[in-house]
Amino acid sequence: MAIRSNPMSRPTVTRFAPSPTGYIHVGNLRTALMNYLIARKSGGQFILRLDDTDQERSKQEYADGIMEDLAWLGLHWDRVEKQSLRMDRYREAADQLRAAGRFYECFETPVELDLKRKKQLNMGKPPVYDRTSLRLTEAERAAMRAEGRAGYWRFQLDQNRIEWPDGVLGPISIDAASVSDPVLIRADGQILYTFASSVDDIDMGVSFIVRGSDHVTNTATQIQIMQAMGGTPPNFAHHSLLTGPHGEELSKRLGVLALRDLRARGVEPMALLSLMARLGSSKPVELASSMEELIEGFDVESFGAAPTKFNDEDLFPLTRAHVQSLPLATVADRIAALGVPADQAELFWKVAKANITVLADLEGWWTLFRDGATPLVDAEDVDFVAQALTLLPPKPWTHDTWGQWTETVKQATGRKGKGLFRPLRRALTGLDAGPEMADVMPLLQVLPKV
* Subset of residues 112 to 151 that bind RNA, contact rule: CB under 7 A: 113, 117, 121, 124-129, 150
HSE-CB for 351 with a 13 A CA cutoff: 27
Distance CA 438, CA 450 (A): 21
* Subset of residues 332 to 371 that bind RNA, contact rule: CB under 7 A: 354
| Residue 196, SS3 per DSSP | helix
Q: Which is nearer to RNA, 55 or 137 (CB)?
A: 55
* Subset of residues 246 to 305 that bind RNA, contact rule: CB under 7 A: 247-249, 251, 278-282, 284-286, 303-305
* Subset of residues 389 to 448 that bind RNA, contact rule: CB under 7 A: 403, 406-407, 410, 416-418, 420-422, 425, 432-438
Q: Which is nearer to RNA, 343 or 418 (CB)?
A: 418
448 burial type by CB count under 10 A (0-12 exposed, 13-18 middle, 19+ buried):
buried
DSSP of 154-186, one letter per residue?
EE----SEEEEEETTTEEEEEEGGGSPPPEEE-
* Subset of residues 28 to 57 that bind RNA, contact rule: CB under 7 A: 51, 53-54, 57
Distance CA 95, CA 415 (A): 91
Q: Encode 29-49: b = buried (16+ Cβ within 10 Å), e = exposed.
A: bbbbbbbbbbbbbbebbbbbb
Distance CA 84, CA 59 (A): 12
Does residue 396 have a cis bond before it (omega within 30 degrees)?
yes
Alpha helices, H only, 107-258 = 110-122, 138-146, 193-203, 216-228
CB of 84 to RNA, least distance (A): 11
Q: Which is nearer to RNA, 231 or 244 (CB)?
A: 244
Q: What is the CA radius of gyration of the chain?
A: 31
Q: Which is nearer to RNA, 178 or 387 (CB)?
A: 178
Q: Which is nearer to RNA, 44 or 102 (CB)?
A: 102
* Subset of residues 67 to 86 that bind RNA, contact rule: CB under 7 A: none
Distance CA 247, CA 217 (A): 23
Q: Does 172 bind RNA (CB under 7 A)?
A: yes
Q: Which distant-in-sequence residues (6+ apart) come within 8 Å of 397 by Cβ?
A: 441, 442, 444
Q: Which is nearer to RNA, 44 or 381 (CB)?
A: 381
Contact with RNA (CB under 7 A) among 148, 170, 255, 327: 170
CB of 346 to RNA, least distance (A): 18
CB of 343 to RNA, least distance (A): 23
* Subset of residues 2 to 21 that bind RNA, contact rule: CB under 7 A: 19
Please name every residue paired with 82 in a beta bridge, in sequence order, or none if there are none: 50
Question: Rounded to an integer, what is the distance from CA 111 to the centroid of its chain?
Answer: 37
Q: Which is nearer to RNA, 44 or 429 (CB)?
A: 429
CB of 342 to RNA, least distance (A): 26
Task: Identify the CA nearest to 16 among candidates 222, 201, 240, 192.
Answer: 201
SS (H, E, C) 2-24: CCCCCCCCCCCEEEECCCCCCCC
CB of 417 to RNA, least distance (A): 3
CB of 8 to RNA, least distance (A): 19
Q: Which is nearer to RNA, 10 or 118 (CB)?
A: 118
Q: Which distant-in-sequence residues (6+ apart) come within 8 Å of 54 by Cβ?
A: 19, 21, 190
Residue range at the interface with RNA (CB under 7 A); choices 89-97, 168-176, 223-231, 390-398: 168-176
Size of the site for RNA (CB under 7 A): 87
Contact with RNA (CB under 7 A) among 6, 60, 109, 290: 109
Q: Which is nearer to RNA, 95 or 214 (CB)?
A: 214
* Subset of residues 177 to 236 that bind RNA, contact rule: CB under 7 A: 178, 180, 183, 186-188, 190, 192-194, 213-218
Residue range at the interface with RNA (CB under 7 A); choices 100-108, 253-261, 330-338, 379-387: 100-108
* Subset of residues 301 to 330 that bind RNA, contact rule: CB under 7 A: 303-309, 311, 314, 317
